[in-house]
Amino acid sequence: MATTVKQRFEIIIAVFAQLEVTGEVDLVAFAAERGLTVQHLKEIITPVVFLQWRDRVGNITGADRAFLITEDDHLVIDEGHWLAAAQSAPPTAAHAVRLMVAAMSAQIIFSDSGTSVPGLEKALVKLKAVVNAAVEIKISIPPLVAACQDALKQKRNISFAYFGEASAQRNEYEIEPGFVGSAWGNWYLIGYTAGTRERRTFRIDRMISATVTDTPCEPDTSIALPDEFPLDEYKQTVRLRLPKQALDRILPPVEVSVVSGEAEVVVADITVYSTHRLIDTLVVLGAEAEVIDDPDRAKIRSQQATEILKLYR
């Protein structure tokens, strides 16, 4: 059985809510109730059962264990874990900050949705004692989320102006909403264009204005966010000859692969996932970054730089 991100999240919440009440979860019985295999259930909860800390390139820098899966497939609280019983040593200050930020973010999100997480407040009290510093967490929700949620609730179309990153242009849309939710730090609206029934996904923070229309619709409740968005069709790569120190001006999510050169000047492939982002990157690097595989892109960079300079005259 394939599970969506939303379904996995709901399963994780259900497992640990039951664990908080009973102190133990029979994974075999739990999986059977939800039509899952035990192995699939374990794969879903493993990221929570075994916490791992990684650096920017993905290497594991530390690990923490709060729970145990017994040989007979029961999930239990590790009684020696510091958050549960204070019998083990507390985490380092750096790890405590990460745990605290995650816990406070979850607390804000759950309180906004009217849900409570048992034991979260107790854990936060312990973490605050280790961190010994004031931590303020702000969860940003785009203002037009409310309009999208209203359209979905009222079963009406929503019209809005949208500035797409790939096109760098403003367009007008009328959508039959099917899903409104957040993932990967962003809020999304998924639905069908009025008339053509083409399924589209929009970042709500890129909406410029939105109005719930009088046109009724029947939302497709089967819509859910995919585990990931396929971006290969937007992928673009350009080869540059540039000073090595200029590479420091390139920020994620731009990918950089040095092809040759180890001294002051290098040849590198720069990969992005939209024409707009590519041109912006070329402008930031400046004329000292020579485009060596596509003269047309060099011309576009020059034109874009000229347009930007006009704004300051």
| Element of type H or E holding 259 | strand 255-260
Structure confidence at residue 22 (pLDDT): 74
Whole-number percent of the chain with pLDDT over 90? 17
CATH label, 232-310, candidates 3.30.70, 1.20.120, 1.10.10, 2.40.128: 3.30.70
Contacts 24+ apart (CB under 8 A), 211-216: 211/147, 211/158, 211/159, 211/160, 212/147, 212/150, 212/151, 212/154, 212/156, 212/157, 212/158, 213/151, 213/156, 213/157, 213/158, 213/159, 213/174, 214/156, 215/156, 215/157, 215/174, 216/155, 216/156, 216/157
pLDDT at 246: 85
Q: Does domain 145-216 have CATH number 3.40.50?
A: no
Under the banding of pLDDT at 50, 70 and 90, the label for residue 113 is low
Higher per-residue confidence, 2 vs 81: 2
Q: What integer best gives the mean pLDDT of the chain?
A: 79
pLDDT at 192: 95
Question: Cα(97)–Cα(270) distance, rounded to whole angstroms?
Answer: 34
| pLDDT of the residue at 248 | 82
CB neighbours of residue 81 within 10 Å: 16
* CA gap 287, 284 in Å, rounded: 9
Question: What 3-state DSSP class applies to 9?
Answer: helix
267, pLDDT greater than 70? yes
pLDDT band with cut points at 50, 70 and 90 for residue 142: confident
| pLDDT at site 157 | 96
Residues 6+ apart with CB under 8 A from 312: none
Average pLDDT score over residue span 158-180: 86
- Candidate ranges 75-89, 97-111, 138-152, 218-232; pick with highest mean pLDDT: 138-152
pLDDT confidence bin for 99, thresholds 50/70/90: confident
Q: Tell me which range, 163-177, 203-217, 246-260, is most confidently predicted by mean pLDDT.
A: 203-217
The identity of residue 99, as a single letter, is L
Q: Which of 45-54, 64-73, 145-154, 255-264 has the highest mean pLDDT?
A: 145-154
Residue 59 has pLDDT above 80, yes or no: no
Window from 9-13, 89-93, 113-117 with minimum mean pLDDT: 113-117
With 60 as the cut, is the pLDDT of residue 144 above it? yes
**SS3 breakdown of the chain: % helix, strand, coil, rounded to 5?**
40, 30, 30
> Does 151 have pLDDT greater than 70?
yes
pTM attached to this predicted model = 0.46
3-state secondary structure of 225: coil
pLDDT band for 257, please (50, 70, 90 cuts): confident
pLDDT digits (tens, 9 = 90+) for 199-248: 999 999 899 889 999 999 999 988 877 766 666 777 888 899 888 888 88
Strand order from edge to edge, sheet including 207-216: 199-203, 186-193, 169-183, 156-164, 207-216
Give which of 19, 18, 73, 71 is closest to 42, Cα–Cα. 73
Provide the residue ranges of all domains of the chain, joining segments of one domain with +: 5-131, 145-216, 232-310
- Residue 31's contacts (CB-CB under 8 Å, 6 or more residues apart) are 37, 38, 40, 41
- Give pLDDT tens digits for 302-313: 777 777 777 665
Q: What integer pLDDT is reported at residue 79 of this predicted model?
A: 57
- The answer to whether residue 128 scores a pLDDT higher than 70 is yes
pLDDT at 170 over 80: yes
